[in-house]
Each structure stands twice: as C-alpha cells, then as structure tokens.
Amino acid sequence: MNSETPVASTAGRLLAAAALVAVTSLAAAAERSWRGVDEMAPEDRALFDPAISTPRDASLDYVPAEPYPFEAPYTAEEMGYRSAEFVHISRWDYALVDVFGVVTSSGYINQGASVGYVETGGRPGFEGYMLDKKAGEIYSKWLLYDVFPPENEGAQQLWLPYRTDKSFRTKMDFFVYSPQLRRVRRQPEPRRDQRFPDNSQTFDDVIGRDPWEFEWQLLGTDVLYETLRFPTSRPSVTLNVPGQGFVERQGASIKPMGENFPHYRADGGVDCWVVKATAKSDWLPGYNEKYLVLWLEKHTFYPLRTEKYGTDGRLIMIEERNAELQNPARGEFGYAAMMTTYWNVDHDLIGYSNHDAHTLRDWTPEEIDMIFTPEFMRRQWLVEPLKSQVLIDAPEDFFLRPHLYPDKFPGERNPVLPAAVQARYDAQEAAGQLVFESPGAAAE
C-alpha cells in the first residue's frame, strides 16, 4: 500500500523534474563554448564575487576601496576596471607605426599610416591614470606624423588627453599641423560617441572609456578561438618586429593573445569572462551607446572582443583585437593591441588599425619638453622613421567581418543585422573573403 500523500507525490515529481532540467541544462552547457553565470564551472565560480555593492575608496567615492589591481574573487565591476588597463593606445612610453584603413560595402578602400610617439607623463598603466592624476590634468601625450598616403606626408596631430570625472568632462586638447598651410591649428574635441569621418571607430574606441562611467554585470564565460580573420586571398602578412626586422607571418598562425601566451587551452582556445557594461546616464548623458558586451581574457582581463549596442538595443559595432606581449617588464599588464578591426554595422564599414614596429622608449625630460608640443610640429621632424609593410593591396584582401555568434547569451545580446548587410555577411562566409554590394544597389 502506498502511504504517500498526493501533495508529497506532486512535490517529489516537481523536485525530480527540476533536477532533470538542471542536469539537462548543464549537459547542454558542456556541449557549447559559453556558459551563463548559473552554469559556470566550480573553478570559475570560485573566482567570481557576485556582490553588486562594495565599499568605496575614501578619496574617490566612485572607485572600489579594494586596492587595484584587486584579488580574486573579482566582482564584475573589478573585471571592468581591470579591462580598462588595455586601451587602444597603451599606457606606457613607446613609438610605433599605426597603419589604418576602412573599406565600404561597395569595395572602396581608404588607408593611411602614421608614426606615433606616446609619453605617459608618470607611472605607467591604469593605476597611474586613475590614482596619480587629478581630474583636469593631462595624463598622456601622443604625437602622430603621417607617412601615407604621400599627399598627407608631414601632416601631424597632437593629442593631449585629460583625466576626467563627473565634474571635468573635457577629454583632450587636440592640435593639427598642415604642411600646405604651414600652420598649427587647435581643433574642437570630437564627440565621444560619434565615429570619425570616413572611418568606422569612434573617439572613445581610440581613447578608451573610464570604467566608473558604467554599471557592470557578469554574463558568464566563453571560449574564443579566433578574433581577426584573414581572407583566403591574403593568407599572410609582413610585420616589423623589433629586434627581428620584417617577418612574414601566416594569418592563421596569429593567435588572439600572441605567440607565447601561457594560458591557451589544449585546443587553442582562450578562456574569457563575458561582461556587460551599461552606460550610467548621470556620467554619460545623451550617450549613443546604451551598453557594451565584452569578452575579457580570463587571466589578464584583456578585452579581445567588444560589441556596442545603441539606445534602441540594436547592434552598432563589433571590435576585435589580436594582442601581443609588447612590454614584458609589466608582466600580465604588458599586452598591447597589435591588430584591431572595427565593424560599423549601420554603414557596413570595416576598419582596421595595425600597431606595427612597437618600440619601447624612455623619453628624456628634454625630449618630452621638445617633442610633445604644438610648436614642434612646425619643424616637420620625423624623430624616428619607423617602417611598415602591412598596408592592404586590394579591397578583397581586407579583414573579414567578425563572427556574429547569434546563439550566445540570448536575451543579453541582439546581434541582428539589416537584411542587406546580412546578405553580404552570408556571402562572405561562403566565399572566405569580403563580398561587396552590386553596382546600383540601394545604400544602407
């Protein structure tokens, strides 16, 4: 005789069903690369602190009280702070060649190259920016000298970015020199969330965003196997490697975190935290970007992939990077962007920036006082004539549009494309190289 009551029997069946759902969910998670927070492996759970409110620093009430760079377990906010270490222009003293370009949906390609000099003005790294500089102080100096195309040679830009907060919002002073006019002119500050003319990235994509301007949430973990994708028509690239000269590298051999990164998985993948950063309206009033989704390498918190979504929730842009350990003395903080692509979805513009010939420098006080000033640009003096061979020969040889990953983190991402852009994306995936719109096709 069964003495179990109907209520107890029902409760038992519900518990069994819930257990079956949980087991099924975990089994499904094991078959895919990404996992939500509730599905994370125990070793990842041990590294994550779910707290959303933590003590604040005594002098900076918008910064966590725990000393940077923090210790595990990490809150989502702390992960965001760690990722701010790795902006497009690295936070140390160096010289480089920045080779950049953009290709349109019709196949028009526009490229340029500038030799750049970067001076940090103090302690390197995000810690120096966050703690050593006060709002309203210049925290770095960037001088860019155009070397391509030939008609632009000698044109220069001087960027003087500021440490900002809620009360001081000016991001930089900006000067340009025209060899034709032989004059230096101060320019208005670009709007942070608007893309540069004839390009796909915004001012903030280049200069970086402050982590205290966003609310941070951990979505889960994922594994990335590639970031930038080379087309079948351009299987290799020649890089200027300091100490080695020009070196040809197969595109398929260029890994997301560089050749000697110690934390690759056995299958070659890169373990990542996936976080969501939602813009704070009081810090970023009227900002065009509602939230970002970032894939952060799990050990360094290097941002390998960033998706931007507009105020209406639609996908605006995808940025992907290949990093390289360019400053070994800084250990896990010494990784820098080597190749970056920016895909502006609205206009189907694909941009790239390749930081070639990365050369560490120890600028003397005399060099700093002389080189990083508007007056110096009038001399048209190329201090260190670094060379590069990474310009792209033809539109078909451009980097592919990034992966979309439509099934990852549903409900938190909306990687939907306009129909015409989706058609070109599908054609690209089938061809292994960019496919452009037909002549006379309607513009997006």
Q: Which residue has the tokens 């000269």?
A: 245
Report how far residue 184's alpha carbon sits from residue 157's, in angstroms, rounded to the nearest whole number: 9
Residues of the chain with pLDDT under 50: 1-28, 440-444
pLDDT, position 6: 46
The DSSP string of 108-155 is -EEEEEEEEEEE-SSS-HHHIIIIIS-TTSB--EEEEEEEESGGGTT-
Half-sphere exposure of 341 (CA within 13 A, CB side): 21
Residue 328 has what pLDDT? 97
- Tokens for 171, please give them: 């991001």
Q: Which residues have C-beta within 8 Å of that of residue 202, sequence separation ≥ 6?
A: 192, 193, 194, 195, 196
Say whether pTM exceeds 0.75.
Answer: yes
What CA–CA distance (Å, rounded) separates 387 from 237?
Answer: 14
Closest CA to 199 of 111, 287, 306: 111
Q: Residue 11: what pLDDT? A: 42
The set of residues, in sequence order, having a beta carbon less than 8 Å from that of 430 and lying 6+ positions away, is none
- Write down all domains in the chain, each with its CATH number in brackets: 45-431 (2.50.20.10)
Please give the pLDDT value at position 24: 40
The DSSP 8-state label assigned to residue 417 in this structure reads -
- The backbone torsions φ and ψ at residue 267, rounded to the nearest 5 degrees and listed phi first, read -90, 10
Do the beta carbons of residue 36 and residue 26 sit within 8 Å? no
Q: State pLDDT tens for residues 259-277.
A: 999 999 999 999 999 999 9
